Amino acid sequence: AQEAHEAIRPTDLFRVPAELRGQLDDDQRRLYDLIWKRTVASQMAAALLDRVVVDIGSADGVVGLRATGQTVAFDGFLKLYQEGRDDPSSDEDEDGAMLPPLTVGDPLKQLAVSPLQHFTEPPPRYSEASLVKKMEELGIGRPSTYANIISVLQNRSYVRLEQKRFVPEDKGWLVNAFLVEKFGHWVEYDFTAQLENQLDDVAGGSRFWKDVLRDFWVPFADRLAEVGEQRQREVIDALDHALGPLLFPGDGETDPRLCPRCGEGRLGLKLSGFGPFIGCSRYPDCNYTRAFTIGGGEGGEGEAQRSDRLLGVDPALAEEVWLKIGRFGPYVQRGSG
């Protein structure tokens, strides 16, 4: 692998982890065990796996089950180390579970039957490990840059960590929508990977560095100038268009952008000095606003923040007291005006 020169290796492979018991504490021993196994495994033969589909039928032919997975034809480095076991939060292998070796006609013994209903679920959010794995697959970055990429995402409040999973923040949604709408060519996965390949060619002496810079900078500078001349309203409209399906999910029966207060205006993305919010197009005649919220968070959390909520009635004046979400955040209002 190209990044192999950045790997951490033991100074003496003959110092096996079992010999260091008593010399290292538990955390140090587990870390050394991981480094030692990965180092040795990298020098072992590749494993050979067969992708298989197993159809299992009952004796009377009434019940049919199917399992898709892999069987091991040759252990190779798997004899020593299996990637993912050192990361409890890593996602299950996309190719399916490991299956025992089977042949056609093998009799199987029923051990138990568990009637479980399964619902299709979206893929899990990225953890640090799965995000790095995805970047490796797409050819984005290098091992020396992964930690910096993850720290920038968090330090700039583009994402937050919840139960070891990344959840996008409002700022992250906006920045991503802006870059995709205005600089789509430069944020494509292929562009990033191809540019890194070109830089590798420069390092290898097969390309001239000024040619690579010129091919990148000339069209990019033109696009920067073009976007810089656009009015703020044009940029906001572009973000509203990109995020519209997420900000205003419809049920197919009613217009999700119709203002619930005046019934005439259309809801759209607006920006203020305090951040993004959703407002009515008939402002100032209609001052309806709600918080900028996409998806409502995990498990629908935050849905109650999207609209006004009646808290009760002021007994002294017999007026309703409302909790509202404005462009500057939540506030309490007496009366419906």
% pLDDT > 90, the chain:
21
Which pLDDT belongs to residue 295?
53
Lowest mean pLDDT among 7-16, 128-137, 212-221, 237-246: 237-246
The answer on pLDDT for 209 being more than 90 is: yes
Two tokens, residue 255: 């217009």
Claim: this prediction has a pTM higher than 0.75: no
Q: State residue 270 phi and psi, 5-degree precision.
A: -135, 155
Which pLDDT belongs to residue 165?
92
Smallest CA-to-CA distance from 38 within 75, 9, 71, 4 is with: 9
User: What are residue 68's DSSP bridge partners?
Assistant: 53
Highest-confidence segment of 50-64, 134-148, 203-217, 308-322: 203-217
Which pLDDT belongs to residue 319?
82
- What mean pLDDT is predicted for residues 119-148? 87
- What mean pLDDT is predicted for residues 309-317? 78
The answer on pLDDT for 126 being more than 90 is: yes
The answer on pLDDT for 220 being more than 90 is: yes
Angle at 9 between CA 4 and CA 15, to 5 degrees: 150
Which pLDDT belongs to residue 328?
64
pLDDT in tens, 31-88: 999 999 999 998 999 999 989 999 988 888 788 888 898 888 899 998 998 876 544 4
259-265 own/partner pairs: CB under 8 Å, 24+ apart: 259/286, 259/288, 260/288, 260/307, 261/286, 261/288, 262/286, 262/288
Task: For the chain, give the mean pLDDT.
Answer: 82
User: What are residue 69's DSSP bridge partners?
Assistant: 52, 97
- What mean pLDDT is predicted for residues 125-154? 88
The answer on pLDDT for 302 being more than 60 is: no
The answer on pLDDT for 296 being more than 60 is: no
pLDDT in tens, 162-205: 888 999 888 888 888 889 888 988 988 888 878 888 988 998 89
The answer on pLDDT for 156 being more than 60 is: yes
More confident residue, 297 or 167: 167
The answer on pLDDT for 4 being more than 70 is: no
Pair 191, 220: CB distance under 8 Å: no
% pLDDT > 70, the chain:
86
Which pLDDT belongs to residue 307?
52
